[in-house]
Structure 1
Amino acid sequence: MSKHAAIESDDRVAERTALAAEQVERLTRWHDDFPTPGVRFADLTPVFADPEGFRAVIDCLAASAPDADLVAGIDARGFLLGAGVATMLGTGVVAVRKGGKLPPPVISREYSLEYGSAALEIPANGVELAGRRVLLLDDVLATGGTLAAAAALFQEAGAEIISAAVVLELEFLNGRAIQGDYPITSIVKL
């Protein structure tokens, strides 16, 4: 159990989420036809570069699983989120890397994106994952392949996914439908 676990009122949760959502909505930059035609890309860089915005996002994401004992940040913006949340919770952080970025042995999983396919990897040894209570973090939940692949990696390693959290969820792409039984927190849903 994290030393930061606490029971909060529904009002406090709503207040925290509203503050973070306001920052995300104010600071996100949108790019049409990037990285491929037909895709609208949400650039969260300004949110992370803004001290107030970044702090509000990290606070909100950390509150989604105060009893996690390991945070997993998905390549690449999830690394920023994971480090911040792990620091708040007093846990370690594991970087879920794109395929080919970690030395072997690795646990690997291929998945589909809204504009192609990719693979994710985590270390197969060196970090004890079996029995760990993991909070998965990513910036955007779109079609859901990335988050589902990351969850499958940790489950294969014997970890328990207790929650997943994202900054922005594109509900019209229905990515939540392919996730596991773990709860998912989204700061902003479009």
Structure 2
Amino acid sequence: MATKEDVQDPRIPKIASSIRVIPDFPKPGIMFQDITTLLLDTEAFKDTVDIFVERYKGKGISVVAGVEARGFIFGPPIALAIGAKFVPMRKPKKLPGKVISEEYSLEYGTDKIEMHVGAVEPGERAIIIDDLIATGGTLAAAIRLLERVGVTIAECACVIELPVLKGREKLGETPLFILVTSDAA
């Protein structure tokens, strides 16, 4: 018997078809998932935000944490629609004032993600939103950063997943909700 989760939302194929894949960008061998074409399609963009809002409205989410930079596109409208605050999670030296940070590994080296001190309170429930999960390093760092200050992560949410890069594995027990799976990496 098919469950509601087994039936694909009829809006997903339109969203998927609105995402352009650019071969060899930013370097040879990379198949870049370009969401700018999704943003140009007002119906697909609205449907993307609506699907996330439908999933999280009424679920006790008080924080929508958006990962720089494309999480800033989807996060604010979702936060407004579900009555949550939007918390930007940024690269180093982008936020004024006091910040806390979490380091994560890259293929060659490390990077950090930062958030304002006091942006969230212990006991709040959050979702973390970004456009894409590839290797999972940035989302895993965002999870650790929020959990360090006592926030419960309900779920991570991305428009696109590149499962070949196994990013989901870095999220531990944190659930991941995605709209579109891409074989390109």
- TM-score (normalizing by structure 2): 0.87
Aligned to 1:156: 148
What percentage of residue pairs aligned between the two structures are identical? 37
How far is the alpha carbon of 1:112 from its aligned partner?
2.8
The alpha-carbon distance between structure 1 residues 131 and 139, as it changes in their structure 2 partners (threshold 3 A), is same
CA-to-aligned-CA distance 1:123-170 (integer Å, 9 cap, x gap) = 113x23311100110000100001111111111121110111100000
Residue 83 of structure 1 pairs with residue 42 of structure 2: no
**Structure 2 counterparts to residues 108-123 of structure 1, below 5 A:** 108-113=101-106, 117-123=110-116
Q: Matches of 1:104 and 1:180 in 2, distance apart? A: 31
Residue in structure 2 matched with residue 51 of structure 1 by the alignment: 42
Note if contact 2:103-2:141 (Cα within 8 Å) is conserved in structure 1. Answer: yes
- In structure 2, the gaps of 5 or more residues are none
- Deviation of 1:13 after TM superposition, in Å, equals 8.5
- Taking structure 1 as reference, are residues 140 and 115 closer, same or farther at Cα in structure 2, changes over 3 Å only? farther
Structure 1 position 54, deviation (Å): 0.9
Give the number of aligned pairs.
179
TM-score (norm 1): 0.85
How big is the alpha-carbon RMSD for the aligned residues of Structure 1 and Structure 2? 2.1
Change (3 A) 1:129 1:18: farther
Q: Which has the higher contact order (CA 8 A, sep 6+)?
A: 1
Tell me the equivalent position of 1:135.
127
The equivalences for 1:3-152 within 5 A come to: 10-11=3-4, 14=7, 17-19=9-11, 21-66=12-57, 67=59, 68-113=61-106, 117-125=110-118, 127-152=119-144
